[in-house]
């Protein structure tokens, strides 16, 4: 039985999904930062909590979309962190397909798609080939008789 794959998401669906991922990654940090400021009266704590939350979101999303976990440090830079989350959210919204170039260290698992999906790639293991040769010998062609 062949496994059917769904087509990539359209622009509207991908945009709405990206907005949802961005909101889920940023809004809790804003809320917690506002609460921290209200409790302590320290404006700096608001910024620290907000951008700390953004860094955690980048650390979670980054490995799935061809970024490294260490890029979470960039999320601590005001406004650039939110831009980075936008890029990651846009990429997450297209998964399992990818429309960006793979990094050099993940090129070994990149599988370029053909046909209607030309221009996309996936990062999974290659599909199993039916009737493949295993252990250096071919499978018997028919029933053995003695």
pLDDT digits (tens, 9 = 90+) for 49-61: 999 999 999 999 9
The Cα 65–Cα 69 span in angstroms is 11
pLDDT digits (tens, 9 = 90+) for 65-90: 988 889 899 989 988 999 999 999 99
Structural domain contains residue 108 = no
Query: What is the per-residue pLDDT for 97?
Result: 84
Structural domain contains residue 6 = no
Better-predicted residue by pLDDT, 35 or 107: 35
Structural domain contains residue 23 = yes
The Cα 70–Cα 7 span in angstroms is 32
Structural domain contains residue 86 = yes
Q: Determine the angle formed by the axes of helices 43-61 and 11-40, rounding to 10 degrees.
A: 150
Confirm if 62 and 71 have CB atoms less than 8 A apart.
yes
Structural domain contains residue 137 = no
Confirm if 100 and 90 have CB atoms less than 8 A apart.
no
Please count the structural domains in the chain. 1
The DSSP code for 112 is E
pTM, full prediction: 0.74
- What domain range is 40 assigned to? 11-100
């Amino acid at each position: 039985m062949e496994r059917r794959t769904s087509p990539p998401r359209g622009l509207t669906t991908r945009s709405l999904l990206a907005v949802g991922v961005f909101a889920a990654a940023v809004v809790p940090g804003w809320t917690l930062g506002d609460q921290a400021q209200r409790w302590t009266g320290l404006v700096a704590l608001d910024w620290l909590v907000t951008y700390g939350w953004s860094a955690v979101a980048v650390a979670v999303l980054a490995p799935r979309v061809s970024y490294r976990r260490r890029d979470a440090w960039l999320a601590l830079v005001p406004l650039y962190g939110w831009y980075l989350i936008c890029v990651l959210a846009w990429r997450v919204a297209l998964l399992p397909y990818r429309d960006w170039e793979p990094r050099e260290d993940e090129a070994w698992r990149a599988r370029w798609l053909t046909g209607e999906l030309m221009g996309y790639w996936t990062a999974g293991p290659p599909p199993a080939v039916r009737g493949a040769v295993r252990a250096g010998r071919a499978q018997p062609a028919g029933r053995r008789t003695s």
